[in-house]
């Protein structure tokens, strides 16, 4: 089997037919399977995927969980069931727009043996289904390593095709990693490069899904948790980059506390960021300003006011 499509779904009834159609519209010379994991949906998603499996019995492997496992454990079971040399991901609320997507990415991986994961540009739709923006920025490097990934390189989940050997077997801690895609990317970056194809080949929907609807502080805490798992997994490797990534999340948590009017918590979180990784020269100017504002709010406001006055602009 050349390609496995890992299809993750839960309560995607309004969108899943389009997602499935986009997968089966693929034009490729390679053999591929579609492994669909339904995480005990409470809407009509399960019936739709069952009908799909009945129409494509030789291509679809259906995993119907009897209890809700959560996003990560659902993905874990799907990935473990995949047989292909390469593994592509799609969520049931997104869809592919290029019928040659699988062919292009598989051909690229065949031609670039040091590449562990290929990804591409993705168009985002707002909650009204209107085009919003492109996920991958213009200055995205064409080839990313672990340092670039942990420095916030944009690698959209629904665009990824990975070498399955980089994930086999998945580590025991993976079932607790949320979001799981961050762990997948890091496991691949440990085995090779993450290479960018500029074509726009899929769509990401913004709506009240599990990660989208999670509060900002919960997202930041979850990211810190995954970085901690990765740090333990890799031992001393990548320690500096992982701690910098964790420090940035702690700093963002400090800003969230400041927004809620809790300066004491904001400063404690800032000190946690500084203890995790000092704000060295690789930190952006904006992060230095944030640290100064949290540590010395009165001095910062006075400086900002004086600077604005000198420039003739409102403070």
Structural domains of the chain, with CATH = 3-205 (3.90.550.10), 216-311 (no CATH)
> Does residue 117 sit in helix, strand or coil?
strand
What per-residue confidence (pLDDT) applies to 308? 52
What per-residue confidence (pLDDT) applies to 313? 57
What per-residue confidence (pLDDT) applies to 152? 86
What per-residue confidence (pLDDT) applies to 298? 64
CA pair distance 141, 136, nearest whole angstrom: 10
Query: Taking the CB of residue 26, how many other CB atoms lie within 10 A of it?
Result: 19
What per-residue confidence (pLDDT) applies to 209? 61
Q: Could you give the maximum distance between any two Cα atoms of the chain, in Å?
A: 72
Q: Using 50 as the pLDDT threshold, list the residues of the chain that sit under it.
A: 281-282, 306-307, 309
Distance from the first to the final alpha carbon of the chain: 62
What per-residue confidence (pLDDT) applies to 288? 64
Residue in the block written with tokens 């930041």: 220
Give 162's strand partners: 87, 117
Please state at what angle helix 216-234 crosses helix 239-259, rounded to 10 degrees: 160
Per DSSP, 176 falls in state G
Q: How many residues does the chain have?
A: 315
What per-residue confidence (pLDDT) applies to 309? 47
Q: For residue range 209-236, what is the model confidence (pLDDT) as tens digits?
A: 655 556 899 999 999 999 999 999 999 8
The sign of the dihedral angle between the CA atoms of 281, 283, 289, 291 is negative
What per-residue confidence (pLDDT) applies to 99? 98
Give 171's strand partners: none
Q: Is 158 exposed, middle or buried (0-12, 13-18, 19+ CB in 10 A)?
A: buried
> Does residue 204 sit in helix, strand or coil?
strand
Which has the closest alpha carbon to 49: 90, 77, 8? Answer: 8
CA pair distance 302, 237, nearest whole angstrom: 43
CA pair distance 87, 4, nearest whole angstrom: 5
Q: Which residues contact 240 (CB under 8 A, 6 or more apart)?
A: 277
Q: For residue range 7-57, what is the model confidence (pLDDT) as tens digits?
A: 999 999 999 999 999 999 999 999 999 999 999 999 999 999 999 999 999
Which has the closest alpha carbon to 7: 200, 110, 157? Answer: 157
What per-residue confidence (pLDDT) applies to 307? 47
Q: How big, in percent rounded to 5, are the helix, strand and coil portions of the chain?
A: 45, 20, 35
Question: CB-hemisphere CA count at 13 Å for 236?
Answer: 0
**Do the beta carbons of residue 102 and residue 28 sit within 8 Å?**
yes
Give whole-number Cα distances, 273 to 71, 267, 287, in Å.
Answer: 28, 10, 11
Q: Are strands 32-38 and 60-64 parallel, antiparallel or unpaired?
A: parallel
Query: Taking the CB of residue 280, how many other CB atoms lie within 10 A of it?
Result: 9
């Amino acid at each position: 089997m050349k390609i496995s499509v890992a299809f993750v779904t839960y309560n995607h009834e309004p969108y899943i037919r389009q997602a499935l159609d986009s997968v089966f519209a693929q034009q490729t010379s390679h053999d591929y399977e579609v492994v669909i994991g339904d995480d005990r949906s409470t809407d009509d998603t399960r019936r739709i995927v069952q009908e799909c499996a009945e129409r494509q019995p030789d291509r679809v492997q259906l995993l119907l969980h009897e209890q809700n496992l959560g996003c990560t454990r659902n993905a874990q079971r799907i990935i473990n069931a995949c047989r292909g040399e390469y593994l592509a991901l799609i969520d049931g609320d997104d869809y592919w727009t290029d019928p040659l997507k699988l062919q292009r990415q598989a051909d690229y991986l065949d031609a670039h043996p040091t590449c562990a994961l290929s990804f591409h540009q993705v168009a985002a739709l707002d909650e009204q289904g209107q085009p919003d923006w492109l996920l991958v920025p213009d200055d995205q490097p064409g080839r990313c390593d672990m340092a670039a990934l942990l420095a916030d390189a944009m690698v959209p989940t629904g665009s990824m095709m990975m070498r399955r050997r980089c994930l086999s077997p998945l580590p025991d801690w993976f079932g607790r990693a949320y979001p799981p895609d961050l762990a997948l990317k890091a496991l691949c970056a440990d085995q090779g490069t993450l290479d960018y194809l500029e074509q726009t080949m899929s769509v990401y929907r913004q709506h009240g899904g599990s990660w989208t609807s999670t509060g900002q502080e919960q997202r930041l805490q979850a990211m810190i948790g995954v970085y901690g798992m990765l740090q333990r997994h890799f031992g001393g490797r990548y320690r500096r980059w992982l701690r910098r990534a964790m420090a940035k999340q702690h700093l963002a948590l400090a800003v969230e506390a400041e927004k809620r009017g809790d300066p004491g918590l904001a400063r404690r979180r800032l000190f946690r960021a500084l203890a995790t990784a000092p704000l060295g020269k690789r930190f952006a100017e904006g992060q230095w300003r944030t640290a100064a504002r949290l540590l010395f709010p009165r001095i910062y406001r006075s400086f900002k006011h004086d600077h604005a006055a000198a420039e003739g602009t409102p403070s």
